[in-house]
Structure 1
C-alpha cells in the first residue's frame, strides 16, 4: 500500500488504486472501451451488431452513473476515482466518436474538436495535481450525460424513414458539442485561478470542494 502524499494544506494527492466498488466499476468501464470498438467496427452496417454496440455502450455508461452514486453514498471517494473516472468516461466516449467517424456517420471535425477538448482538459488536470485536485464539475457531468445520450442514439440502428429520431439525435449532439466547448473553457479558467492562488498561498489549494 502506498503512503499518502499530503501537502502543506493537508490534502492527500495520492493516486493509488483502492479496492472499492466505485473504482472497480471504473476499471470495468475501461475494459468496455476496446470491446465497443470491436463490436462497432466489425460489422458497422449490420443491424444486430449495432444493437450489441449500443448495449455495450449503455452498460458502460450505467457503470459511470453507479460508481459516482456509490462513492458519495458510502464515502468511497478517492483521488484515483476523481481522475480515472474522468479518463474512463473520455476513453469510452472517445471510442464511440472515433468509431462513428470511421464508418462515416459523424463528421471528423466534430470528433476531433471534442477529443482535443476532452483529452486536453484531462492532461491539464493531471498537470494541476501539484497545485491541487480538480474534481469533475456539474457542467462537466451534464456534458457527459448529453454526449452519452447522443452517442447512444447514433449507435443504435434506426431506419432512415424515422426522420424525427434523426433530427432529435442531431439536436442533442450539437447541444453536447456546445457544452463540451464551453465547459472546456470553464476548466481552463479554473486551472488558471487554482495555479495563481496556490502560488500566492505558497501551497496547493483544493478547488474540488467549491464546485
Structure 2
C-alpha cells in the first residue's frame, strides 16, 4: 500500500476519535480543541494524499474510490454531530449528505460504463467551504462577529453544495442516458 492510500486510511481511522472528542466529555474544556486538531490534521491528509498521488504517479483505483469516501465520512460525521447538538439545522445536513449520495451514484453509474468523472472546481470550492464551516463550528467562539462568520460560511457551504451538484449533473447528464 502506497503512502497516499495510507494517509486515506489514517483519515478514516481519525473519524471516530474526532467524533468522540466532539461529542463526549473526555478531557473537559480541551475536548473541542482536540476535536479541532484531529479535524484539521485529517483535512490536511486529504490535501497531502492527493498531492503525493499526483506528483509521484501513485494514483490507484483504491485511492480513487476511498479518498472521496474518506472525505465524505469526515464531513458528514461532523454535520451529523452538529445536527444532534442543535448547532446545525437538519435540513442543511440533509442537503449536503443528499448531494454526496447523488454524486456517488453518478460516479458509480459512470464507472460501470468505463467513465471516470473528475472533481470539478465547484466541488473543490464546496469541500473547502464545508471544512472552513466545520472548523468555525467546532471552535464555536461566542461573540457576534464569530457567530456571524459561522452563518456566512454555512450559507456559502450550502450554496456551493447546490451549485456544485447542478454543475455536476449538467456536465455529466449523458451518464444517465447510458442507463436506458
1:98 aligned to 2:80?
yes
Counterpart for residue 120 of structure 1: 102
Name the CA distance, whole Å, in 2 between partners of 1:157 and 1:64: 24
- Provide closer, same or farther for how the CA distance between residues 83 and 135 of structure 1 changes in structure 2, counting only shifts above 3 A: farther
Name the count of aligned residue pairs.
177
Listed one character per residue, the Cα deviations across residues 15-45 of structure 1 (whole Å, up to 9, x for unaligned) are xxxx11111111111111222111111139x
Counterpart for residue 175 of structure 1: 156
Contact 1:47–1:157, Cα closer than 8 Å, also in 2: no
* SS of residue paired to 2:172: helix
User: TM-score, structure 2 length as denominator?
Assistant: 0.90
Q: Runs (4+) of structure 1 moved beyond 4 Å?
A: none
Question: Structure 2: which 5+ runs fail to align?
Answer: none
Listed one character per residue, the Cα deviations across residues 35-71 of structure 1 (whole Å, up to 9, x for unaligned) are 2111111139x53111111111111000001111111
Listed one character per residue, the Cα deviations across residues 153-175 of structure 1 (whole Å, up to 9, x for unaligned) are 001141x2x21111112101210
Listed one character per residue, the Cα deviations across residues 110-150 of structure 1 (whole Å, up to 9, x for unaligned) are 11111111122113212221221112222111110110011
- Provide closer, same or farther for how the CA distance between residues 177 and 76 of structure 1 changes in structure 2, counting only shifts above 3 A: same
Q: How far off its partner does 1:100 sit?
A: 0.7
Counterpart for residue 58 of structure 2: 76
User: TM-score, structure 1 length as denominator?
Assistant: 0.78
Counterpart for residue 23 of structure 1: 5
1:193 aligned to 2:171?
no
* SS of residue paired to 2:88: coil
Counterpart for residue 16 of structure 2: 34
Q: How far off its partner does 1:99 sit?
A: 0.3
Counterpart for residue 139 of structure 2: 156
Question: Structure 1: which 5+ runs fail to align?
Answer: 1-18, 200-211
Listed one character per residue, the Cα deviations across residues 159-203 of structure 1 (whole Å, up to 9, x for unaligned) are x2x21111112101210110011111222223322455x79xxxx
Structure ID, larger Rg: 1
Counterpart for residue 67 of structure 1: 49
Contact 2:72–2:100, Cα closer than 8 Å, also in 1: yes
The structure with the greater share of residues assigned to helix is 2
